[in-house]
Amino acid sequence: MSVTIYHNPRCSKSRETLNLLEQHGYQATVVEYLKQPLNAEELRELIQQLGLTSAHDLLRTKEAEYKLAGLSKSSEENAVINAMVTYPKLMERPVVSVNGKAAIGRPPESVLALFQAKS
């Protein structure tokens, strides 16, 4: 089973989600996406795994970079994805990906459904 967490160690929810995975015995590959930003293709794949209808749903709209990138709810998909490539801080966190499915760890317990579905 391949488990990946897109993690920001400064975020309490991200730390809680990583701890929760470890408590349940899951070894996750940790990707600190602020240090190793995702490219456009990886973001599109993650959005698909999350089952989101819009890349905008993966954005942290209260970050200063949201305004800096000139984004709005009506921004085109490519503009949103390019903004997340340029400003990785815009990506909601944490995101856990397991065998082609993903979940946002808000609350952290929501990622456990990824493992229950595989049981």
Give the residue numbers annotated as catalytic, written as ranges: 11
Distance between CA 109 and CA 76 in Å, rounded?
A: 31
Distance between CA 90 and CA 80 in Å, rounded?
A: 9
Query: How, if at all, do strands 3-7 and 95-98 pair?
Result: antiparallel
Q: Which two tokens stand for residue 36?
A: 């190793």
Q: Are 79 and 102 in contact (CB under 8 A)?
A: no
CA 99-103-105 angle, 5° bins: 130
